[in-house]
Amino acid sequence: MSLRQRRARILATLGPASSTETQIEALVAAGADVFRLNFSHGSHEDHAERYACIRRVEQKIGRPLGVLMDLQGPKLRVGTFAAGRVTLVAGTAFRLDMNPQAGDEQRVCLPHPEIFAALEPETDLLLDDGKLRLKVKRCGADFAETEVLVGGVLSDRKGVNVPGVLLPISALTEKDRRDLDFGLQLGVDWVALSFVQRPEDVTEAKALVGDRAWVMAKLEKPSAIEHLNAIVAAADGIMVARGDLGVELPAPQVPVLQKRIVAASRRAGKPVVVATQMLESMIKAPVPTRAEASDVATAIYDGVDAVMLSAESAAGDYPCEAVAMMHSIIHEVEADPGWRSNWHGSRNAQRQSTPDAICSAMWDVAEYSGCAATVAFSVSGFSVLRAARERPRTPVLGLTPDPAIARRLALVWGVHPVVSEPLDSVDHMIHCACEVARQQGLADTGATLVVIGGIPFGQVGSTNLLHIARV
């Protein structure tokens, strides 16, 4: 199967509609580059089988496929009701407390002391994905007396959001830690961290992960936006998780924050994914709405690395059609002559290192020389990420001797990752670049390449060489 001609990547979630090797191979043929294993659902056995299928498909097509495990994170929920559900009426009082007895129209258990510890009078609480809203009038270490601002039906174990409040809780639950250990043993390439509130959450996860995978911070809490640049700096990648972000913040703010998060990630050279409800109607319909198509297109115009499908590919009626539609939208945008016109500003980030200077020069050469491709050699993936940050006109051939790094790079904009042999000289590097570019169909005989790498070979972060080669 040939390398992708488009630059932006597609991250597809696996689930009941896409669990077999045949289905996964069909998703790859339709355009999927990376697969998401959602650990909020399914057993370890389910995920292990899906992972094995991905690797068999990868071997069959001869191209690295990335695997991202998405940790569930803390789930804050109310308890149960004697009748299974109640109707809360606007203007009435409702109590939340630690009493485990079944609730009624006056009260319910909220078994999360960390929420009570963070509450203050006039704090708003959102229930059931924001459908109901309460305002705290009086609170203590184990209770909160509230007024119902927006009423409705509330049933057992519905979720609770506390917008604008930094909760004293780790982003990693005990379940997450067990799942993380299992996923890393499987060999996942990316770990998506939910419930990120501050950079320390990312640091904690990275300490557990080590060099076994890259960590992607999911930005879904308003408190994370207050620490945006520090979280971007701490993480290996960023996900704009618009689901919970849209619950805790007014809907009109989400598109603005999406652009802000993407811009911050782009400046830092960190891969950024836009997720949630991108083609939501295709869960049940074979075509998206025009608004959904525009939503995907907007993300591509902004220069994101990848766009993600959730239920559309995991549980929908048209998983392959959803991936193919996303592929088609990306292709149409990238064929637009004005597609890259607003990206020059993202190249103005201050550069104080030799690798940044080399990659900036690489962009200029690629832009004006008419070369066929950019080739970046990297042991750690660092040089390839720096090259991709520049968003060059040419495709980026990312060569690495490490299959794990090649799989991680499958998520990155414009990068065609290939596992290469270790290098021992500059001549070897140039020869390898030319041969692989020709074999991969990125350059014909006689074409020119921009090649970047580092001397001494094999040393992380040593990018210090730029060479123009002829195939």
Query: Which residues belong to the active site?
Result: 36, 77, 218, 276
The amino acid that residue 273 corresponds to is: V
Tokens of 131: 């459908």
> Is-contact 40 160, C-beta < 8 A?
no
Q: Which of 182, 220, 217 is nearest to 202 (CA)?
A: 217
Any idea what DSSP says for residue 31?
A: T
Tokens of 14: 């696996």
Tokens of 412: 């990155």
Q: What angle is formed at CA 238 by the lines to CA 59 and CA 53, rounded to 5 degrees?
A: 20
413 burial (CB, 10 Å; 0-12 / 13-18 / 19+) is buried
Q: Which helix (H) or strand (E) holds 322?
A: helix 319-334
Q: Give the residue carrying structure tokens 């830092």.
A: 268
Tell me the C-alpha distance between 334 and 309, whole Å. 19
Tell me the C-alpha distance between 293 and 18, whole Å. 22
Q: Which of 354, 395, 355, 353 is nearest to 374 (CA)?
A: 395
Tell me the C-alpha distance between 36 and 12, whole Å. 6
The contacts of residue 180 (CB under 8 Å, 6+ apart) are 69, 71, 172, 191, 205, 208, 209
Angle, helices 354-368 vs 382-389, to 10°: value is 50
Beta strands in 200-252 (DSSP E): 214-219, 237-241
Tell me the C-alpha distance between 235 and 256, whole Å. 21
